[in-house]
Structure 1
């Protein structure tokens, strides 16, 4: 056994302490586990593997339960299934899955859905022999003859692009390495634009590539030197312009290029960046439509002539509204689709650009999710969207923007006799100490949580939340949740501040020097659910991932007595050290979310809630922590160091497990069966230790 650790399999590993001093603003922090950052050190992998062995040993008694849960989850999924075909020009594109195969098969038919199938890309063949496999970019050329696709083989999110000739099914000779998620075809079918990532995984350069030429000959179009900005490239829905977008968390800038003349002329700027002002553009006719938060916290819609798009020429289309968040717009030949959030829920309005008449798209359930679908056609009256709720499986609709009729194309099939009428979904409201009303979406089986006085506080309850970056946590369906609901669980989502449920103010009241509202809101929701007898401290399990893992770490430091079992997936827990380290991916860009630790006021505030910095000698709940060795977003050492420090200081006999996926990144396993096994493992942990 290596010097840095002592262990036998039935006792947890004890990581050796090697004090390392971190100093900022005259404040000294001692980090005993800083050494875990060095992946070249064999003692680090030995520690992670020892933790994995201990986890395996501790979970051995749950092997049958894990298998049972996995079988139940799988039994609800139609393994051989087909997505709703998407029409583009004369082709219908779709993907399908086959029983026993972990990855998607991408196909198309020409002319009609009765035509013979053409398989474009079978991900299963490419994933053969790979521990991890993920397709990022997947884009067909405008003439439908070439497929550009990008592959990540280890979870690091550094993709390699390939070009496939769809007439001969031969690959082009060149590959393009170290790319990210964005990509655009010019209309000549020969020129493409892509972004390259730097050492820290930040997309920072835009290149132009000519098909058939080696990557070394690609032309650098733009280099973004500011570490806090990401660069992405795309195309307007009209297909008239290539758009380069530069964005930090709070500021953006867009440039455009004629997609018909990719080799002539340079990208033109719409409006130079102004700190704190965000905007994004769409195109219609002679105008760019611009969604911006300039002097409009909840965003407004402007338009400007393509010929002179700078801000002095912007005119208002939809003014700012205090109570409605403008999330975005989509433009079609004759229609403008406006996506908004009203009273914490997503909705849409369709406006006819010729008559200016508007129609709202509304839904009946108290809490739900609503997402724009794939709409590649510009000249169409059909808008495709997906509707889902805690009770309703994802349902793909085609909405006729002329007649307002909606046609259900497909509701995801849930096997095993799923009956919606057996479940109840509600929106509850908990009140924070400062008066803020925090919504909680819940679902339960009707005979589980009797209403009124019969709620007895004995129901197991699974509560989750996120509350960062202004992302709303949508109340969506998951068939994987059914094994919990069938066992009498109530499932709940806390829509806490820091998310975007109620627009920008909701987000801003849970970031920077208001970040603790995110954690106290979650605690408020837990207390409310206990007080209303939905559950009790002894029956409450909580879960969160990434920034939701930070939430888990913070609330168990603040109120460890409130929760029985906790799952923290790839948790961001070493806040101060990570955000202060500019050599790490995302650090500088994260200053716009958490604050710049080089300013003492932010440093002190972050330090006051950072889970790793606030671990104390006290009792903690049962805890399962996960990590991905190749995770570029939350480095493996954050969960590992946190686990080691908790082991050192906690005073209880409760279980603490660290499970590191040694071949994956931020999203865990890549194949659908493996990721369901990971979920079954987590559910088995929750079920077992809620009972203990």
Structure 2
């Protein structure tokens, strides 16, 4: 079949100079901060038209994939109920609904259940809608919502009077998504965003019914290398202002009272480079998770009147990473990671171990669930594996008994026994043992014969979790083996695993992914002619770097919202996230950081070689990875690729970093990605795009 010619982006070279080094960027003109330039928009539309034309033969397959993925989801579903201040709440998905509907009723009167928020009704005909969260006022009267209609994480705050169902005139645009009520329900705390970087910059208190211009400014972030967020203490008495950078933390606190005055916030402990801590408050004590005495964190407590004397509850360990803790009247719950897998531990409030929750699956993840009442005796937690749908269980803090409360329903004849998973350790070039989680369908596997999809992320200390995906079944049922490469840059093996994939050790992330791919092929886990790579955001950077370093390994790749123009972006402090990520990637104002990033920045290292087939997925309103990065990358790849490779860009013109919203809508994107992979898996050697 003859395809139309790919769009040609005009070359208008701009020379970028730093530290005696010059780079030429022929597609710098594609950057339009306002997203209004007719030429830029026309080019992006042309890319979308080209992608649609090339993928047109796969339209029946895309429709089939969409239908089967949608069919696996229950048409109607309700969450487990939860209780908060005398009311029982529940989330529902009605038949055909994209967004959730929320109900509540008094604890003693289930017959009085009412819908207090309908997501489909709020979204209306909008191209994009996200409910970031909602907060019920302490007197149970008001609903405070954070909503986004564009995908740029600029949230609008609004308040509904639940006694009348009327929305108040209080409307606050360009806010953070984590507002909190004061304890008397007279108003709420919220953050305002910086107009350029879109990062939370200032903390205000707003009185209901008051002009926002009169809101009280309580705190201003003065160091833009930190990210500001809000949280309430477990006791409900305090508001925490969390300042977090890559390598340090600072927490301020103040009572959650109405009419707060400027200067009332108090700093628990000043930021020190290398010291990260997380703070909570319960029963007149501060509890804190800190890496002051060990990289994998320890747990301490001190009286609220004296933050200098810390009592050690859980000492640091070289083998156990302390990821999270939660406080209950009946004890402490810890989320820890041991040898790459998560476990839950129950302790007394003074630190004695009572119980440990662990599982037998070779690759799984478990996590503390939503437990809004610290006085409850049944603690909910989640569990999922590559072959087991997401489950919610309860742990009895008194007896240690565990109960399955709910398991994700997968329709369409799913049986977990049809699938198998395992966990391997593969050797990287420097001798490091890299964990890999694999899943496949038993009756489809044959050594060295299956298409192999290798996924990775490897940044920010975020672990690639081996959890269940109902969408993934569409690839497994068609013979794919899927491998999650737990490369350095995540925290799968502890804090040191992150440190070895950050800053001037970043190349380890890419080497690990390449070496894992080679190790899997050497062990017979896939057909060498049908190997694919996948990564999103910082994982898209991983894919971009790997394709420059070892393009011959892969038949094709998918890069979603990929961070590929690393060097130029990190030189621009006006962009969201840049200043807060100097410790992650490096600050190019420093020569040593500049030249290290220069080695791997995917856009800058595109060269004349045979690249694999590539689908790049992005979004015009992405505030995390600007749309022009993937657009420029695809344009440059087309001029350098030395053979007939399919290089596609799919630019969503209505959404942001998270892609399409809604229960079903996002499945269209998944169907496109899977159809791309399946097309290549069926005919890996087909020429698909002619060089000009």
User: What is the Cα deviation at residue 112 of structure 1?
Assistant: 5.2
Q: Aligned in 2, Cα 1:570/1:131: closer, same or farther, shift over 3 Å?
A: same
Deviation at 1:599, TM superposition (A): 1.0
Aligned partner of 1:30 in structure 2 is 24
> 1:269 is matched with which residue: 255, 267, 286?
267
Aligned to 2:495: 504
Q: Is the 8 A contact 2:81 2:90 kept in 1?
A: yes
Note if 1:136 corresponds to 2:132: yes
Equivalent-residue separation in structure 1 for 2:81 and 2:453 (angstroms): 36
Per the TM alignment, residue 691 of structure 1 is displaced from its structure 2 partner at its CA by 2.2
Given the alignment, which residue of 320, 342, 348 partners 1:352?
348
Structure 1 position 106 matched with structure 2 position 102: yes
1:86 aligns with 2:82: yes
Of 634, 658, 664, the match for 2:625: 634
Give the distance between the partners of 1:143 and 1:352, measured in 2 at CA: 31
Deviations 1:518-547 (A, max 9, x none): 011011111111111111331112111000
C-alpha separation in 2, matches of 1:441 and 1:262: 52
Tell me how far apart the structure 2 counterparts of residues 209 and 394 of structure 1 sit (CA, whole Å).
Answer: 39
Unaligned runs of at least 5 residues, structure 1: 1-7
Once structures 1 and 2 are overlaid, which stretch shifts more, 566-575 or 173-182? 173-182
- Partner of residue 14, structure 2: 20
Residue 249 (structure 1) aligns with: 246
CA distance in 2, matches of 1:266, 1:625: 48
Q: Please identify, of 314-323 and 374-383, the stretch whose mean Cα deviation from structure 2 is larger.
A: 314-323
Inter-partner Cα distance in structure 2 for 1:375 and 1:146: 21
Superposed, 1:89-488 pairs within 5 Å as 89-111=85-107, 114-198=110-194, 199-260=196-257, 263=260, 266-309=264-307, 312-353=308-349, 356-450=352-446, 455=447, 457-488=448-479
Q: CA deviation at 1:640?
A: 0.1
Could you tell me how far apart the structure 2 residues matched to 1:494 and 1:242 are?
Answer: 38
1:689 to partner: Cα distance: 1.7
Q: C-alpha distance in 2, partners of 1:580/1:112? A: 59
TM-superposed deviation, 1:357 = 4.7
Match of 1:622 among 613, 618, 621: 613
Q: Is the 8 A contact 2:228 2:243 kept in 1?
A: yes
Q: Which runs of 5+ in 2 are unaligned?
A: 684-692
Q: After alignment, is 585-594 or 666-675 more displaced?
A: 666-675
Q: 2:675 aligns with which of 675, 684, 687?
A: 684
SS in 1 for 2:545: helix
Does 1:644 find its partner at 2:635? yes
Return the alpha-carbon distance in structure 1 between the equivalents of residues 258 and 125 of structure 2: 42
> Per-residue deviation at 1:86?
1.3
**How far has the Cα of 1:232 moved from its partner?**
1.0
- In the alignment, is the contact (CA less than 8 A) between 1:426 and 1:441 conserved in 2? yes
TM-score, L = length of structure 1: 0.96
Q: Which residue of 2 aligns with 1:3?
A: none
- Is contact 1:334–1:354 with CA below 8 Å preserved after alignment? no
Contact 1:608/1:614 (8 A) holds in 2: yes
**Rounded Cα–Cα distance in structure 1 between residues aligned with 2:174 and 2:243:** 19
SS at match of 1:359: strand
Task: Check the 8 A contact 1:475/1:493 in 2, yes or no.
Answer: yes
* Contact kept in structure 2, 1:238 and 1:332, CA below 8 Å: no
Change (3 A) 1:262 1:420: farther
CA drift at 1:248: 1.2
Task: Give the TM-score, by structure 2 length.
Answer: 0.96
User: What CA deviation, in whole Å up to 9, does each residue of 1:318-338 have, x standing for no partner?
Assistant: 111111111121011121111
Deviation sequence 1:669-688 (CA, Å, 0-9, x none): 11222200110111001100
Contact 2:251-2:267 at 8 Å conserved across structures? yes
The aligned residue for residue 74 of structure 1 is: 70
3-state SS of paired residue (1:53): helix
- Are the equivalent residues in 1 in contact too, given 2:535–2:558 (CA < 8 A)? yes
In the TM superposition, what is the alpha-carbon distance from 1:261 to its structure 2 partner? 5.9
Q: Report how many aligned residue pairs link the two structures.
A: 678
SS at match of 1:162: strand
1:655-666 aligned within 5 A = 655-666=646-657
Contact persistence 1:175–1:214 (CA under 8 A): no
Alpha-carbon deviation of 1:465? 0.8
Call closer, same or farther: CA 1:301–1:286 in 2, change over 3 Å. Answer: same
Q: Out of 556-565 and 91-100, give the one that drifted further.
A: 91-100
Residue 4 of structure 1 aligns with which residue? none
Corresponding residue of 1:520: 511
Match for residue 51 of structure 1?
Answer: 47
